Amino acid sequence: MTDQTLNVLAIGGSLRKGSYNAAVLRALPDLAPVDMKITLGPPLAMPLYNADVQDSAGFPPEAQRLADAVRAAQGVIIVSPEYNFSVPGFLKNALDWVSRIPNQPFNGKPIALQSASGGPVGGARVQYHLRQIMVFLDALVFTRPEVFIGMASQKIDEAGNIHDETTKKFIRDQLAGFAGFVRRHG
């Protein structure tokens, strides 16, 4: 890693090891440009957000670890499935905790979004909702090119490997564009 290498954090929105989104998340380091180092984020398991708990006990260590990882990164990629047309509960909960941390870690942070699904839409609605959340957090969302992986079962094998070259190209193209975005805004 050189001084020119970008430090990017990748956060997963799926708990299932065999999920398409977890497969995409694991593939990111190998698909990244040579000037980008992608580190997988910490586990997001934390208690449900409750302001009373925050006021009495402070922030859970898991929320602080996520906040520290976001602060240390020059950019963040969120790869998430769509649950009920929206953000998976545990990911939303983690974002809710981190949104309350002083010196907001997402403020001004370049963010890229990716999603995969078994259906044709590719998780588009989760990305729209994540964009709304990121607006509240004053993050800078990278908008093009987008990565929506529809019909993922035809592109990702049972071992969790992306075998579809077009999908790999979409991801590589987004990561290359995101690298430039991070350099301009990070």
Establish if 161 belongs to a structural domain: yes
Overall average pLDDT of the 53-82 stretch: 97
Q: Residue 31: which of 150, 147, 152 has the closest Cα?
A: 147
Q: Which domain holds residue 177?
A: 6-185
**Cβ-based neighbour number of residue 138 at 10 Å:** 11
Are the C-beta atoms of 32 and 174 separated by less than 8 Å? no
Amino acid 31: pLDDT: 98
Establish if 15 belongs to a structural domain: yes
Distance CA 125, CA 162 (A): 22
Amino acid 134: pLDDT: 97
pLDDT tens digit sequence for 96-147: 999 999 999 999 999 999 999 999 889 999 999 999 999 999 999 999 999 9
Establish if 130 belongs to a structural domain: yes
pLDDT band for position 17 (cuts 50, 70, 90): confident
Establish if 92 belongs to a structural domain: yes
pTM of the model: 0.96
User: Which CATH number does the domain housing residue 98 bear?
Assistant: 3.40.50.360
Distance CA 144, CA 35 (A): 19
| Cis bond before residue 102 (omega within 30° of 0) | no
**Cβ-based neighbour number of residue 145 at 10 Å:** 14
Establish if 121 belongs to a structural domain: yes
Query: Could you tell me where the beta strands, DSSP code E, fall in 127-171?
Result: 140-141, 147-149
pLDDT band for position 18 (cuts 50, 70, 90): confident
Establish if 168 belongs to a structural domain: yes
Q: Tokens standing for 68? A: 């520290």
pLDDT tens digit sequence for 23-66: 999 999 999 999 999 999 999 999 999 999 999 999 999 999 99
Overall average pLDDT of the 150-165 stretch: 96
Query: Is pLDDT of 70 > 70?
Result: yes
Number of domains in the chain: 1
Establish if 143 belongs to a structural domain: yes
pLDDT band for position 1 (cuts 50, 70, 90): very low
Establish if 1 belongs to a structural domain: no
